[in-house]
Amino acid sequence: MHHMAVEVKSTWRSMSAVVLMLLLTLSGCGGYARPNILLVLIDTARSDHLSCYGYGRETTPHLDSLAEAGARFSRAMSGSPWTLPSMATIFTGLPERAHRARLSDGTFFGVDPALPYLPELLARSGYSTAAFFNVIYMSEHFGFHRGFNHFDCQGIEEVTLSRTACATVDAFLSWLDTRDDDAPFFAAVHFFDPHATYDPPAPYDTLFADPGYSGRFDNTWRVMADMFEANSGAVVIDSAGVRNLVDLYDGELAYTDAEIGRLLASLRAGGYDGNTLVIIIGDHGEEFGEHGRFTHGHSLQAELLDVPLILSGPGVPQGMVRNGPAGSIDIAPTILAAAGLEPPAGLPGRDLLLPGEDEERILAASGLGGGEARQACVRRGDSKVIWDSDTDEAVMFDLVSDPGEREPLPPDGELLDSVLVYWATPPEGHPGAVPWSSAVTDQLRDLGYIR
C-alpha cells in the first residue's frame, strides 16, 4: 500500500512537470507557443552610421528593412563604452555599477556567477540556448557561458583575429539545422567585424573607401600601439586618414549587414520568421576624432554610447519609430517578457514591447576602460550630464541644440544629483578577478586594449 502511494505521488509529480512545461510553452504572445528569440549583437556599432538612422550612406539595407517591418528605437543608449561591461548589462539587465564586470586598476572582472543571468533563466524555462561570440571578453573566462546549451566563443586562447561575419552566420545556421528538439530557441549571435582593425572583405573594402589611399591609416591601423599613439597626441591623424578609417568602418558595417541579411533570409526559408522575435543592438559605438580620440572605451560621449536598437517579430508593431529613451538595460526584461517569464526583482529596465514612453526616464552609463578617469553620465529627455568622480566636475549638454555634445553647459542640479545617486549604486555582483594566460594577454594587446 505504501509502495502504491509512492508510485501515485511520483506519477503526479511527473504529470505536474509536464503540465508546467506546457503552460510555459503556451504562455506569452497571446496564448500561442513561446517565440524563438534571436539576439543579434553588433560590436562597435554607432547608430548614426546606419542608414535607417539617417546616415548619408546606404550602409545597412537589410537592417533598414527589418526596422521597417518592426520597431526602431531612435534614442537607444548603451550602459558602457566598451564590450565587457556593456555586454554584461545586456545579459544581466543590471547597470555597470551594479554588476561590476569591468577593468579596474589593471585587473579584469567578469560576470558574477551568483547574479541572475538571462540565458540561464531561459534555459531553465525550457528554451534551447546557443551563443556564437567572437571576442575574449565574452568567453567562459568572463562568465558569459552560463545557461547556454551550445556555447561557441572563438579565439579564446589563440592570438588570432576573431572569425568573420560570414563564418559566424555559418556556425549559427549549422547549429539551427542540426537541432534535435522542438523547444523554442534563444540564440545570441555576436558580430565583431566593425571593431578595429577595419578590414572588410571585397567588395566592401572599396565600397566607400578610396582604393588609391596610401597613407598610414589603412586597414592595418590599430595593430600594436597605433591607437595609443593617436589618442595620446603622439601621432596626428590627418583628414585623409580619418576619412579612410571612416570609409573602411562603413564598409565593415555594410558587410556585417549583408551577412545579417543572409541569416534572416535563412530563417525565412526555414519557416522560422513567423514566430521569431529578432532584437538587434550595438554594444557601444566608436569615435573618429569627434572629441579628439579614436576607437572606444575612453569617454561617455554620444558617439560611444548611442547605439542601434531594432526589434521585429511577434508582438512588435510594424514600422514604428520609438523616440522615448531606451537602453541596453531593457534587453533582458524585454526578452523575459516575450518568453512569458517574470524578470528578477530589482531590474531597472522595462519591457520595450509595452506601450507608452516615459520621456522623463533617466538612463545611466559608466565603466570606462583601464587607465582612464572614473566617470558616469545620466541622460533625461534632451539633457545629459557627464560627471568625473576624480575631479568632482560635471558638464551638461543640450542634445537638441548640440547633438554632438561639443558645447558643455553648467550642469542641471537635479541631473547632477541623479548621477551621484547612480554612482552610489550598491554592487549586486562581486566577481573575482579573471585569471590570465600569456596567450590571452597577447590577444588583448593585439586588439589594442592593453599595452
Calpha distance 414→210 (Å, rounded): 48
Q: Which helix (H) or strand (E) holds 24?
A: helix 2-26
Average pLDDT over residues 129-141: 93
* Residue 408 CB neighbour total at 10 angstroms: 14
DSSP alpha helix (H) spans, 50-102:
61-69, 83-92, 96-99
Calpha distance 382→397 (Å, rounded): 8
The predicted-structure confidence for 146-203, as pLDDT tens digits, reads as follows: 999 999 998 654 344 578 999 999 999 999 999 988 999 999 999 999 998 899 999 9
> Do the strands 71-73 and 309-312 form a parallel or antiparallel pair, or are they unpaired?
antiparallel
Residue 357 has a pLDDT of 79
Average pLDDT over residues 34-61: 98
207: three-class secondary structure by DSSP: coil
Question: Which of 171-180, 216-225, 315-324, 326-335 has the least mean pLDDT?
Answer: 216-225
Percent of the chain with pLDDT over 70: 87
Would you place residue 450 in the very low, low, confident or very high pLDDT band (cuts 50, 70, 90)?
Answer: low
Question: How far from 268 is each of 171, 265, 274, 320, CA to CA, in Å?
Answer: 17, 5, 8, 22
Residue 77 has a pLDDT of 98
Residue 224 has pLDDT above 70, yes or no: no
151: its cell numbers: 556555447
Average pLDDT over residues 41-69: 98
Query: Could you tell me the domains of the chain?
Result: 34-358+438-447 (3.40.720.10)
The predicted-structure confidence for 262-308, as pLDDT tens digits, reads as follows: 999 999 999 999 999 999 999 999 999 999 999 999 999 999 999 99
Average pLDDT over residues 256-260: 98
Would you place residue 359 in the very low, low, confident or very high pLDDT band (cuts 50, 70, 90)?
Answer: confident
* Mean pLDDT of all residues belonging to the chain: 88
Q: What is the DSSP letter of 422?
A: H
Would you place residue 226 in the very low, low, confident or very high pLDDT band (cuts 50, 70, 90)?
Answer: confident
Residue 15 has pLDDT above 60, yes or no: no
Question: Which of 62-76, 83-97, 221-235 has the least mean pLDDT?
Answer: 221-235
The predicted-structure confidence for 334-343, as pLDDT tens digits, reads as follows: 999 999 999 9
Residue 18 has pLDDT above 60, yes or no: no
Average pLDDT over residues 219-244: 87
Calpha distance 442→228 (Å, rounded): 16
Question: How far from 22 is each of 26, 95, 272, CA to CA, in Å?
Answer: 6, 34, 20
Residue 254 has a pLDDT of 98
* Residue 393 CB neighbour total at 10 angstroms: 11
> Do the strands 393-398 and 383-388 form a parallel or antiparallel pair, or are they unpaired?
antiparallel
Q: Identify the bridge partners of residue 130 per DSSP, sorted by sequence position.
A: 150, 187
Would you place residue 360 in the very low, low, confident or very high pLDDT band (cuts 50, 70, 90)?
Answer: confident
Residue 4 has pLDDT above 60, yes or no: no
Average pLDDT over residues 396-406: 97
C-beta separation of 306 from 81 below 8 A: no
Q: Which of 239, 235, 212 is nearest to 225 (CA)?
A: 235
Residue 136 has a pLDDT of 87
The predicted-structure confidence for 83-115, as pLDDT tens digits, reads as follows: 999 999 999 999 999 999 998 888 889 999 999
C-beta separation of 46 from 301 below 8 A: no
Would you place residue 355 in the very low, low, confident or very high pLDDT band (cuts 50, 70, 90)?
Answer: confident
DSSP alpha helix (H) spans, 216-361:
226-232, 239-269, 302-305, 331-338
* Residue 206 CB neighbour total at 10 angstroms: 15
Residue 436 has a pLDDT of 62
Calpha distance 80→89 (Å, rounded): 8
Residue 5 has a pLDDT of 38
C-beta separation of 313 from 324 below 8 A: no
C-beta separation of 309 from 42 below 8 A: no
Which tops the pLDDT comparison, 311 or 355? Answer: 311
50: its cell numbers: 546606419
Residue 445 has a pLDDT of 56
